[in-house]
Amino acid sequence: MQSLTVVLLQGDAGVAQSLVSALSQAFSSVQQVQSLDELRHRIAKHRAEVAILDIEAAPLNEIEHLSRDFSGVGIVCTHRVADEEMWTAALQAGAADVCPANDIAGIVRAALGNARGQRSAVA
């Protein structure tokens, strides 16, 4: 198994717990954080391939900054409400994918797809 790291910033504790459990089966390291500053620190420290963050915890300009500052990291955004305008804006800001927060399997697939995509682009 490849050594893959994901950093997770999720506002809903129940969703976060479900994601940590599901992601732990697919990633060798799952780093759950409580703030954007901590997210940035852990991405850099652990050389994460993927960052999963709740759109409600990160304004769009922060997604742009993360995308620019960590260009090799796939950003998967989550949100509680199916808001196509917000999701489109997140993708335009640099997110690789946007998933409903309650679609745990979809989030894991998006994270894995973006981790593999980042790895093959670097290799």
Q: Return the structure tokens found at 39.
A: 């997210």
Q: What is the dihedral of CA 92, 94, 99, 100, to 10 degrees?
A: -70
CATH number of the domain within which 40 lies: 3.40.50.2300
Cα separation, 114 vs 96, whole angstroms: 7
Largest Cα–Cα separation, the chain: 37
Task: Give residue-wise pLDDT tens across range 21-51.
Answer: 999 998 999 999 999 999 999 999 999 999 9
Percentage of residues in the chain having pLDDT higher than 70: 92
Q: What's the pLDDT score for residue 121?
A: 36
Q: 116: pLDDT confidence band, cut at 50, 70 and 90?
A: low
The range of the structural domain enclosing residue 110 comes to 5-122
Q: What is the pTM of this model?
A: 0.88
Number of domains in the chain: 1
Task: Give residue-wise pLDDT tens across range 81-92.
Answer: 777 888 899 999
pLDDT exceeds 80 at position 118: no
Return all residues near 37 (Cβ < 8 A) that are at least 6 apart: none
